[in-house]
Amino acid sequence: MKQPIQIPPGEKIRLADFDPDDTGKYKDKEEAKAETEKNIERLAELQEILYAEGKHAVLVILQAMDAAGKDGTIKQVMSGVNPQGCIVTSFKAPTPLELAHDFLWRVHQHAPPKGYLGIFNRSHYEDVLIVRVHNLVPEKIWRERYEHINYFEKLLAAHGVTILKFFLHISKEEQKERMEKRIADATKNWKFNTGDLKERERWDDYMEAYEDAINQCNTPWAPWHVIPANKKWYRNLVVSEHIVKALESLDLKYPPAPEGIEQVAIE
């Protein structure tokens, strides 16, 4: 059976049933190259109209294990967009000020305004992932957050934000290979953190936490997509395809020209 990319609302999934090596109908990178380039070009066109029209916003949420390709996805898929209408937010450990507020306070202020494409590199989901795996808050607290997240995302959607959530699914073996390459590459080893190895030891705990987050927070207004991400080229193809599809569904249009523009003469 073909594994789904966008998970139907209400359907419970097991990540073990999803093959991170899957490449759909494509055999290799060359087969997908033309379609990926077409998607990236179309995304650039649609983002320009999104910005000009100023009636909608789009929020792309990227979640994944270390080395799964969040940065690479942003770099490749968004390579054609106009930076003027795109906002990328990378969420790190919360500051003392952020910890003094509710867990969604720091996130809400980074939601994209109308006309913008927003990208979250990690997100509010860290508050049901890392805090759960490391027992940073009691279970009662993080379990309540699923409902808070659903209402928060519903609020954004009700005010014109189209939300796309992508879990970049890689295997533990693929992560090992990427980490080894990262250590060996002088242009990338600055990304390596010995703490990543401690997180890797908790792989099964993270898979359980991600599975619950997807199952508890997969709604019609903010659907989850499980992206097979062992092959970077397929990851980029699928993510770009779904963003383009979402933008096209908004029926974007350039705003009308100012009244009387046809009579304007520039000397």
**pLDDT tens, residue by residue, 36-54:** 999 999 999 999 999 999 9
pLDDT of residue 86: 97
Q: Find the mean pLDDT for residues 200-207.
A: 97
Residue 202 has pLDDT above 80, yes or no: yes
The secondary structure of 148-210 as a DSSP string is HHHHHHHHHHHTTEEEEEEEEE--HHHHHHHHHHHHH-TTTGGG--THHHHHHTTHHHHHHHH
The residues spanned by each domain of the chain are: 19-251
What CATH number does domain 19-251 carry, 3.90.110.10, 3.40.50.300, 3.10.20.30, 3.40.50.150? Answer: 3.40.50.300
pLDDT of residue 260: 85
Residue 87, Cβ neighbours under 10 Å: how many?
Answer: 17
**pLDDT tens, residue by residue, 156-196:** 999 999 999 999 999 999 999 999 999 998 888 888 888 88
Q: Please return the burial class of 54, using the count of CB atoms within 10 Å of its CB with bins 0-12, 13-18 and 19+.
A: middle
Residue 25 has pLDDT above 90, yes or no: yes
Model pTM score: 0.95
